[in-house]
């Protein structure tokens, strides 16, 4: 019934970075236009935390300057020497040691809920089973989702290790619950009682059916020995999957060749990579992507391309191990394959055969367009080489696509200014305007508290409705730094969900009996993270982290500019984020991106059952 925190991570294969290395800078005219609002800039320097009722025009201007400020310029200070208020404002996470306390507190609450569900006997008790199981799921996923993000994205290894420990502790407990026959039996009993189901809302009925299906996928009906093996396999798959994601690397980590073979490489980049008469280029990252777009020598592009796509022995080993474990898990649960198991609850894609049918139909539909574009690239290669017959190779694609784009840019009035219009701040400003027009929500910059963010580059935005209501918190970690994952990703660190009255009573008791670290029961009920209150209902706000790897411009005069592909990446990831922001429900099992999906949900880790 609880799904693992892998639901929160979206690594989009379509969005894996294809970076255009910035070549020439913007013209002085564009610079003047971008920086002419000096008064607004001065106002930002001394601004207090954003007022949600301030005009959208003011928010719009501050937003652009927040992301476009050069080094030492406009920015909300994220780090200070003041006492940490906790990562994401989670009051337990003021230090790495807090992860253990955070996990323990949630496991204690979860254990009490388990006992309450198991002891349900009256009609009233059974009417509350879905709410109890949903809260049980939320308690565990609070730790799993937070820990999954921190262990993958936090730059401090102490936080990474503490988060990994908390994740393992809670994940093991979750898998044990998933195979607990008593919980499954009690849910089945509740579903069988008309006097219970008639009192449930449509949302409760949906959640109940989802949880019942998830129990089935966790082999809850198998003998105890098989259930124990299921838990063991799930834990091993989780560990191997995590190691695969964090440790995947190419066999060859850098390509070093004579510098003359890199003719065409952007001059500024070539100068930074040159070592005597050689150029050394990392196999992964923006430098190699830039080389594939700009280097004229086909053999050099081929060498880089193949090095990028030849995985290390350890990476292949982990992948093969994970696939074998997944196959055994699926067979144990009574499924033909892991694909059949993963697609069981998809409304459209009921089986791997259905997915393949869809993909083949999509390929056939797109084939004429693809062939036309390939012919265009082949013709471009024929023209450049002055040869009547040429074969287009995989490592030619980016190079000749860039040639086509260059011609497109040359036909407009300002020859090379396409990228110059796409500063990070301008794109974020445009997204805010777009969401304002489409959905009536906008981004409002908010100064982070000490310890709230994991790096000074991270910017906090509140998502606010047109009537000033705060709907979500969005943390944007958009720029490259060493050791940071190059994969763009969307994380839902915490789902939206209604906080019930008995949870506030429990929080009040906890505040009395323990050293107070919270200001109010409302704050304690959500670990100090953001809540909202409307129509007498208290809700935990969705908290989202958006992580990208855009090149950072350290110029004292200009912001960072995005390539066309990077703009696409940001729009795509923000699409996942807006789904989490707007799809608010009373139950976390169906909130945001946890709703029923079909082909687009893929994850490296296995799904457990108590949904996260």
Cβ contact 175:233 at 8 Å: no
2 forms bridges with which residues in the sheet?
A: 610
Virtual torsion, Cα 291, 292, 295, 296, nearest 10 deg: 180
pLDDT 10s digits, 46-95 = 334 445 555 666 677 888 889 987 553 444 444 556 788 999 999 999 99
pLDDT at 5: 41
Distance between CA atoms of 230 and 220, rounded to whole angstroms? 9
Q: Which two tokens stand for residue 225?
A: 């020995």
pLDDT at 40: 36
Per-residue confidence band for 476, with pLDDT thresholds at 50, 70 and 90:
very high
Angle (CA) 371-369-410 rounded to 5° is 95
Of the listed ranges 37-41, 125-129, 528-532, the one predicted with least confidence: 37-41
pLDDT at 607: 33
Cβ contact 542:592 at 8 Å: yes
Percent of the chain clearing pLDDT 70 (strictly above)? 82
Percent of the chain clearing pLDDT 90 (strictly above)? 55
494 forms bridges with which residues in the sheet?
A: 543
Q: What is the mean pLDDT of the chain?
A: 83
Average pLDDT score over residue span 313-326: 95
Taking 70 as the threshold, does the pLDDT of residue 525 lie above it?
Answer: yes
Per-residue confidence band for 44, with pLDDT thresholds at 50, 70 and 90:
very low
Angle (CA) 231-232-235 rounded to 5° is 85
pLDDT 10s digits, 150-171 = 998 999 999 999 999 999 899 8
Q: Which two tokens stand for residue 581?
A: 């922001």
Dihedral sign, Cα of residue 163, residue 573, residue 14, residue 553: negative
Of the listed ranges 169-173, 336-340, 585-589, 605-609, the one predicted with least confidence: 605-609
Taking 60 as the threshold, does the pLDDT of residue 209 lie above it?
Answer: yes
pLDDT 10s digits, 211-269 = 988 887 777 778 888 888 988 898 889 889 888 887 888 999 999 999 999 999 988 88
Question: Pairing mode, if any, of strands 470-479 and 543-550?
Answer: parallel
Taking 60 as the threshold, does the pLDDT of residue 575 lie above it?
Answer: yes
Give the burial class of 464: count Cβ atoms within 10 A of its Cβ; 0-12 exposed, 13-18 middle, 19 or more buried: buried
pLDDT 10s digits, 359-391 = 999 999 999 999 999 999 999 999 999 998 999
Q: Which two tokens stand for residue 64?
A: 């652009």
Average pLDDT score over residue span 583-603: 69
Provide the 3-class DSSP secondary structure of residue 560.
coil
Dihedral sign, Cα of residue 510, residue 513, residue 518, residue 521: positive
Put residue 315 in one of left, alpha, beta given phi > 0 → left and psi -120 to 50 → alpha. Answer: alpha
Cβ contact 150:163 at 8 Å: yes
Give the burial class of 205: count Cβ atoms within 10 A of its Cβ; 0-12 exposed, 13-18 middle, 19 or more buried: middle
Residues 6+ apart with CB under 8 A from 587: 130, 131, 134, 203, 204, 207, 497, 498
Dihedral sign, Cα of residue 237, residue 239, residue 244, residue 245: positive
Q: What is the DSSP string of 377-427?
A: HHHHHHHHHT-S-----GGGHHHHHHHHHHHHHHTSSSTT-TGGG-BHHHH
Distance between CA atoms of 92 and 87, rounded to whole angstroms? 8
**CA neighbor of 588 nearest in space, from 495, 509, 525:** 495
Taking 60 as the threshold, does the pLDDT of residue 569 lie above it?
Answer: yes
Question: Pairing mode, if any, of strands 531-534 and 537-540?
Answer: antiparallel
* CB atoms closer than 10 angstroms to residue 332: 16
**CA neighbor of 274 nearest in space, from 285, 264, 262:** 262
pLDDT at 555: 62
497 forms bridges with which residues in the sheet?
A: 540
Q: Can 415 be counted among the known catalytic residues?
A: no
Helix (H) or strand (E) holding 445: strand 441-446
Q: Which two tokens stand for residue 559?
A: 């912001």
Residues 6+ apart with CB under 8 A from 16: 486, 487, 488
**How many residues would you count in the chain?**
612
Provide the 3-class DSSP secondary structure of residue 364.
helix
pLDDT at 75: 44
Q: What is the 3-state secondary structure (H, E, C) of 175-203?
A: HHHHCCHHHHHHHHHHHHCHHHHCCCCHH
């Amino acid at each position: 019934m609880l799904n693992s925190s892998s639901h929160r991570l979206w690594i989009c294969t379509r969005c894996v970075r294809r970076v255009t290395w910035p070549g020439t800078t913007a013209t002085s005219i564009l610079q003047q236009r971008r920086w002419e609002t000096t008064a607004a800039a001065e106002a930002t320097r001394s601004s207090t935390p954003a007022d949600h009722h301030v005009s959208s025009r003011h928010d719009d201007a501050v937003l652009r300057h927040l992301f476009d400020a050069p080094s030492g310029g406009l920015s909300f200070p994220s780090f200070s020497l003041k006492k940490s208020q906790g990562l994401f404002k989670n009051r337990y996470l003021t230090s790495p040691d807090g992860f253990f306390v955070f996990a323990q507190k949630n496991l204690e609450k979860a254990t009490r809920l388990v006992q309450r569900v198991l002891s349900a006997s009256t009609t009233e008790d059974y009417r509350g089973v879905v709410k109890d199981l949903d809260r049980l799921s939320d308690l565990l996923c609070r730790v799993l989702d937070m820990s999954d993000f921190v262990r993958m994205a936090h730059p401090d290894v102490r936080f990474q290790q503490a988060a990994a420990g908390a994740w393992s502790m809670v994940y093991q407990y979750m898998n044990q619950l998933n195979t607990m026959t008593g919980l499954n039996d009690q849910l089945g009993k509740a579903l069988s009682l008309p006097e219970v189901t008639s009192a449930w809302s449509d949302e409760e009925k949906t959640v109940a059916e989802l949880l019942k299906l998830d129990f089935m996928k966790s082999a809850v009906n198998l003998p105890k020995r098989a259930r124990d093996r299921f838990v063991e396999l799930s834990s091993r798959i989780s560990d191997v999957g995590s190691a695969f994601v964090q440790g995947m690397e190419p066999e060859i980590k850098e390509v070093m060749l004579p510098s003359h073979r890199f003719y065409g490489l952007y001059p500024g980049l070539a100068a930074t990579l040159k070592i005597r008469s050689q150029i050394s280029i990392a196999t992964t990252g923006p430098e190699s992507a830039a080389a594939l777009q700009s280097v004229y020598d086909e053999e050099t592009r081929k060498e880089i391309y193949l090095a990028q796509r030849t995985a290390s022995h350890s990476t292949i080993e982990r992948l093969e191990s994970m696939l074998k474990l997944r196959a055994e898990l699926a067979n144990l649960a009574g499924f033909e394959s892991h694909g059949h198991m993963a697609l069981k609850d998809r409304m459209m894609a009921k089986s791997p055969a259905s997915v393949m049918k869809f993909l083949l139909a999509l390929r056939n539909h797109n084939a004429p367009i693809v062939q036309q574009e390939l012919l265009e690239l082949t013709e471009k290669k024929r023209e450049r080489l002055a040869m009547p017959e040429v074969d287009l190779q995989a490592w030619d694609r980016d190079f000749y696509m860039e040639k086509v784009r260059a011609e497109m840019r040359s036909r407009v009035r300002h020859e090379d200014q396409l990228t110059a219009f796409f500063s990070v701040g301008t794109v974020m400003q445009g997204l805010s305007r777009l969401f304002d027009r489409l959905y009536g929500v906008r981004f409002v910059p908010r100064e982070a508290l000490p310890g709230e963010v994991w790096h000074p580059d991270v910017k906090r935005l509140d998502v606010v409705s047109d009537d000033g209501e705060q709907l979500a918190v969005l943390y944007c970690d958009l720029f490259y730094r060493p050791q940071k994952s190059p994969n763009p990703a969307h994380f839902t660190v915490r789902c939206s969900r209604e906080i019930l009255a008995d949870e506030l009573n429990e929080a009040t008791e906890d505040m009395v009996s323990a050293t107070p670290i919270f200001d109010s029961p409302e704050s304690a009920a959500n670990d100090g993270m953001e809540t909202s209150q409307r129509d007498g209902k208290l809700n935990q706000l969705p908290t989202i982290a958006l992580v990208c790897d855009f090149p950072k411009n350290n110029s004292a005069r200009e912001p960072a500019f995005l390539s066309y592909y990077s703009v696409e990446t940001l729009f795509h990831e923000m699409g996942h984020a807006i789904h989490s922001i707007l799809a608010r429900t009373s139950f976390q099992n169906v909130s945001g991106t946890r709703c029923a999906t079909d082909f687009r949900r893929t994850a490296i880790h296995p799904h457990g059952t108590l949904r996260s």
